[in-house]
Structure 1
Amino acid sequence: MDLFFNSALGEGNITFVRPAHFFISGLTGVIHVRFYYVFLFFVYVVSVVGNSVVMAVICLDHNLRTPKYVAVFNLAFVDLFGNSALVPKLLDVFLFNHRRLAYNDCMAFLFFCYTCLSMQALNLVALSYDRLVAIIFPLHYHVKVTHRFMLSMIASFWLFIIVAVLVAVGLLTRLSFCRSVVINSYFCDHGQMYRLACNDNFPSYVVSCLYPVFIFWLPLAFILFSYLYIGWAMAKVARIQRGVKTFKTCVGHLSLVAIYFIPLLITFTLMEKIHPNARIINLSLTSVFPPMLNPIIYVLQTQEIKDSLKRLLKIKKTPRKPSNSVIHF
């Protein structure tokens, strides 16, 4: 281990321990766990292909250059980048038993994973705001939701998350790990790491309490409020067919919200009642599953993307020309 010596608060010399590595110990004792890693590899391949297709379609089709698809493109990018940051390293750690991660590598791993997972939640907020304005204020939609507004909102989300995660990582670097370097998780988990410290970890504890509020609970509350408001507005619509048609435009986004938030909600609610390995598997699936399903849901549920795919792939059948050949007897 690398040792650094500090003098703090006049209490004499205090040994500050910055370990050379951390040890990822999650998923030990799980029967047939290698099949789970193979499944994760399949999920990763589907995620890469699906999100790449969605991003390519949005870039190539000028009809999809709308504020809504700016948010959809950003979600596909975050899903692709997030799964690429997590799954290959996860497979390297567990499948090939490279469980020792260098100190700086672990901090970088934490930063990229937390940034991408958090951005997924805030991107769903951007999409729910888009649906809220489109349904409640349809005549003012093009005034309220412009390209500049959507880009500004997404950029502000990125800035907020990057700063928040950098603060969390910066506080971890001030901790002394003289007790243990064993992290019982599937990646360099902030909550697991700061609890290993043997000096004052209260600032990291505060961050761990505030972070879920801004990244999980407030986004979930806004999304639920927006759809309750949409449901209340649709209930006032006299024509049932119009209400059903309006609801269909929200099905894809509601599916993404359910896939992302419900597993996390279950885990946070039953944190102390479930086995650590069950918690780790649930959280790992929550991390990698939505990025795989998001492009599938958007392709299947969004008529604009399906039409765009047909145009780009030229699936439309062209009529066969009649033959001009003449048969002589």
Structure 2
Amino acid sequence: MTSDSSSLTWRPLTPADAQTSADLLNAMETADQLGEFYLAEDTLQELVDPYLDRQRASLAAFDGNLMVGFMKASYKPATEEVHRVLVEGGVHPDYRRRGIGTVLVDAAVAAVKAQHARQHPTVKLVIVAQKAEHIAGAAELFRSRGFAPVFYSQHLVHPLGAAIPDSAVPDGLRVEPWSERNDEEFRRIRNEAFKDAGLAEMPVDNWQNRMINHTFRPDVSFLLRDVANGAAAGMLLTKYWEGDTVVTGVREARFVLIGTLRDYRRRGVAGTLIGHALRAAADQGFDQVRVSVDQENPVETFGIYEKAGFAPALRHVSWALAG
């Protein structure tokens, strides 16, 4: 550690850190301008992730009672050819350029490697960190620790209002809203549709923690079903962070999952779900909708969103380090 970072108090995160974690993320937002604000219940949801080993795979830096930096990494409960672990973290704007980020990244890499050895020692490990490309110093930090940029994800925003396109439901399919009865079908579509992108399956407890939580909007989440055989064809899942509205006054819905099963691709499933959900979001009083598209993800097509009326906003970089 540098002399600056060694003067701080370092310890793993705990659920009691929900408010101070939210305070740190909101302070970071003032500098990074991502359009993301947090309430304590948002950060608590992440801190009680069943696959976050807080004691061994998280670390926070404190200056007195002020959290000035953190990192955390949840392992994948299931994996196939590659165990991809997303490392999350950041440093308070007033404490940047003091070596704190370096300490956190190095600690995250060491923790993930140790965790990987315990959980999935026979498969390849890839450690991933995602940051908006405009954040000063991020590229320099990750390159210095051996990470390389591997792909970009584009945030797109839809203004709703008159820009919502008409979207006829394809013949032989019908739209139905999310319910507790079809929730398992939503999860199954997510797992099967995203295999092409190399994503591991999401088990029930992880699905409940990350997707069907306090940010989930069932009234703007839909499934498309085959009328003839009753099979699910695709789904769209929407979330909403109240913290954004508290600060900005803008109610923004986020389409966080859009998936189509292989047998139903190229039949307009994704476009239908997007159009239907845009209309529902407007009816529920949202001001705009945001979606993030991995530009090299074979599951998603950038053109679908442009056709639906989305416009580019921020772009994020995914940095990767082979373990």
* Bucket of the pairwise TM-score, normalised by the shorter protein: under 0.3
The structure carrying a bigger helix percent of its residues is 1
Q: State the TM-score, normalizing by the size of structure 2.
A: 0.23
Greater relative contact order structure (CA < 8 Å, 6+ sep): 1
Return the TM-score normalized by structure 1: 0.22
Which structure features the higher share of strand residues?
A: 2
